[in-house]
Amino acid sequence: MFEAFSLPFFQKGLIEILILAIPAGLIGSWVVLRSLAFFSHAIGTASFPGLVLADGIGFSPALGAFGAAGFFAGLTALLGRSRRASNDSVTALVLVGCLAFGVILASDVFGSTASVDTLLFGSLLSIGTSDILLAAAAAVLAVATTVLLGHRWLARGFDETAASRVGAGAAWLDAVLLLTVAVTVTASLNAVGALLVTVLIVVPAATVRLFAQRITTQLVASVLLVAVLGSFGLWLSYQTDAPPGATIAVVSGITFGLALGVRSLGRRGGRIAAATALVLGAGVIAGCGGSGSNGDQLKVVATTTQVGDFVEQIGGDRVEVTTILQPNTDPHDYEPRPSDVKAVADADLVFRSGGHLDEWANDIVADSGSGAEVVDLSSGLPVQLEGEEEHEHAHEEEAAHSSESEAGHSHEGEAKPAEEEGHEHGDEVDPHWWHDPVNVIAATKEIDTALSEASPDNASYFSERTASFDKEARELDRQIAACVKQVPASERKIVTDHDAFGYFTNRYEIESVGTVIPALTTQAEPSAGDLADLEQTIKEENVKAIFPESSVSPALAEAVAEDTGASTSYTLYADTLGPEGSNGETWMSMMKANTDSLMLGMTGGQTDCFGTVG
């Protein structure tokens, strides 16, 4: 039950949380004593625009976060001083501004990307040396300021009016405190993320506050409590396979609840009861732990559901495949779980889909201390389309382009359709390559090669399976092409709210008329202008169906359908396969389901190809 402690990624997470315990406990105590809890939460959230900026321009995310946090702290201090408004309302005001600014930056200026998400949510399972150094720097700062200024912060928190009489009232004291809070929050971002950072800082200190009678007790006990809750939560997340940040948050919350209950029972008996409850809880959870694994098989990790399916098709019963993403989850929201990192740590091979869909794969491999070879299936594919534009004006050009030219770009077979407009910024390759069977056939060849190298004894087994899969895939490709041809070229027009179908429409000569969400990611928000343009196009081109992507809320697509009369009854699988038992549980069935949905949509429900859509 303690094997976790021997894993490199777990050890790094543990070191990180133990170091972070120092600034979190110390500064958390001041935050609680000075009623700055809301402020520190706001600082965490307000670092968001900084993260987006750092990611977009390309400097260190920590610097971006700290810049934004520092700016936020400064602005709050300034506004709080010049007006007599309550601190919380000022904080809320600045916070809303920062968030709005971040969202605008993310959706309109830069396309939002995966690394921003990692920082919004963070993970103790992907801690690097720089994170540990940052935590150590925050620890040094927290200790230094507490030793030097603690007495004055204490006096000022005791009663502010009188404090100004006893020389503790200088505004710079508060400024230093806010700044130290900002540094601590920034240092904690990578571990628990901007949204949970308050839990790490505020909740343990607030728990101690219920019992502490002296400031020294408060400070020391808070540091210890963060250390205990943090390492317990980390270990528990490993045992239960939940995200560590959230686990620590839950454990802290429960502890606070217990403490509150116990506090009302009386001080002394309470402490014993709390300790008992904690030990009991730990015992129960430990009892549930434990796992077994199969010895001989080749251990392989696949990042996405479709890559997992390909590897299973080729590997058969000779490989044990762990797929990290779950069906119908948005890859952009992925947060690594302990089991993922552990699977990677144990793996012989890691297959990734490539592009921004699973950018995090290389980090996990590095952090897990795994020696696994990473095979990026997107490199060397026969059909490569360029990624969509990320800038707003580019979308407008694109929409104009596709509505002007009736013979649209997707009618030209396997050429690069995005090339006419894509050159200024679009150097990214569209990562949804598996929607073209030609690419899938090439990818399975690569999987075959990699598996055979890793396990030469099974090489002929893998080759046989590859050959039969490829045959099926070719047959499927023919069937789809023949079926789609039933619809006259001028009526092969679709609208989808996700840009994932470029490869499919390109392969089968279907025109994609605009998109509801004009970006590659599902996180960008469309502007009112984009929507109006789109609805205009739908009406002009007489598009009959809109296809909401299965893993994205269809609300927006439905809104457009309502305005234009086009149907939204059919859905497409875009980023992931469907769950087990659905009509998209394998790549083959997913392709059939998508074809049927497209056909039904384009023909007003008249024609399908495989009868997979009920």
Query: Residues interacting with another protein, by CB under 8 A?
Result: 33, 147-152, 154-155, 157-159, 161-170, 209, 212-215, 217-218
Burial of 87 (0-12, 13-18, 19+ CB in 10 A): middle
Beta-carbon-side half-sphere exposure of residue 110 (alpha carbons within 13 Å): 19
Tokens of 99: 């968030």
Task: State the residue for tokens 């400031």.
Answer: 215
Residues whose CB is less than 8 angstroms from the CB of residue 468 and which lie 6 or more positions away in sequence, other chains included: none
DSSP string, 1-48: --GGGGSHHHHHHHHHHHHHHHHHHHHHHHHHHTT-HHHHHHHHHHHH
Residue closer to another protein (CB basis): 260 or 279: 260
Residue of 576, 574, 575, 571 lying closest to 561 (CA atoms): 571
Give CA–CA dist 600/581, Å, rounded. 22
Asked whether the beta carbons of 495 and 515 are under 8 A apart, the reply is yes
Phi and psi at residue 608, to the nearest 5°: -135, 180
Task: State the residue for tokens 């965490």.
Answer: 44
Task: Give the shortest CB-213-to-another protein separation in angstroms.
Answer: 5
Give CA–CA dist 177/587, Å, rounded. 55
Strands of 304-422, DSSP E: 319-323, 349-352, 373-376
Residue closer to another protein (CB basis): 152 or 332: 152
Task: Give the shortest CB-226-to-another protein separation in angstroms.
Answer: 17
Task: Give the shortest CB-222-to-another protein separation in angstroms.
Answer: 11
Asked whether the beta carbons of 341 and 123 are under 8 A apart, the reply is no
Q: What is the DSSP letter of 567?
A: B
Residue closer to another protein (CB basis): 209 or 332: 209
Task: Give the shortest CB-17-to-another protein separation in angstroms.
Answer: 25
Residues paired with 515 in a beta bridge: 496
Cα 518 versus chain centre, distance? 20
Residue closer to another protein (CB basis): 95 or 259: 259
Residue closer to another protein (CB basis): 159 or 406: 159
Residue closer to another protein (CB basis): 100 or 162: 162
Task: Give the shortest CB-248-to-another protein separation in angstroms.
Answer: 25
Task: Give the shortest CB-286-to-another protein separation in angstroms.
Answer: 34
Task: State the residue for tokens 């098989």.
Answer: 297
Q: CB count, 10 Å around CB of 170?
A: 13
Residue closer to another protein (CB basis): 149 or 347: 149
CA distances from 34 to 123, 154, 177, 579, 592 (A): 29, 8, 10, 49, 61
Task: Give the shortest CB-150-to-another protein separation in angstroms.
Answer: 8
Residue closer to another protein (CB basis): 154 or 516: 154
CA distances from 431 to 239, 279, 304, 314, 470 (A): 34, 48, 12, 22, 21
Task: Give the shortest CB-219-to-another protein separation in angstroms.
Answer: 9
Residues paired with 512 in a beta bridge: 494
Residue closer to another protein (CB basis): 159 or 475: 159
Asked whether the beta carbons of 40 and 201 are under 8 A apart, the reply is yes
Task: State the residue for tokens 């890793």.
Answer: 454
Residue closer to another protein (CB basis): 146 or 466: 146
Tokens of 317: 């019963």
Residues whose CB is less than 8 angstroms from the CB of residue 312 and which lie 6 or more positions away in sequence, other chains included: 319, 321
Task: Give the shortest CB-184-to-another protein separation in angstroms.
Answer: 20
Task: Give the shortest CB-205-to-another protein separation in angstroms.
Answer: 11
Residue closer to another protein (CB basis): 225 or 314: 225
Task: Give the shortest CB-142-to-another protein separation in angstroms.
Answer: 16
Give CA–CA dist 323/310, Å, rounded. 11
Residue closer to another protein (CB basis): 217 or 553: 217
Task: Give the shortest CB-152-to-another protein separation in angstroms.
Answer: 6
Angle 324-64-140 (CA atoms, 0-180°, nearest 5)?
Answer: 95
Residue closer to another protein (CB basis): 152 or 507: 152
Task: Give the shortest CB-33-to-another protein separation in angstroms.
Answer: 7
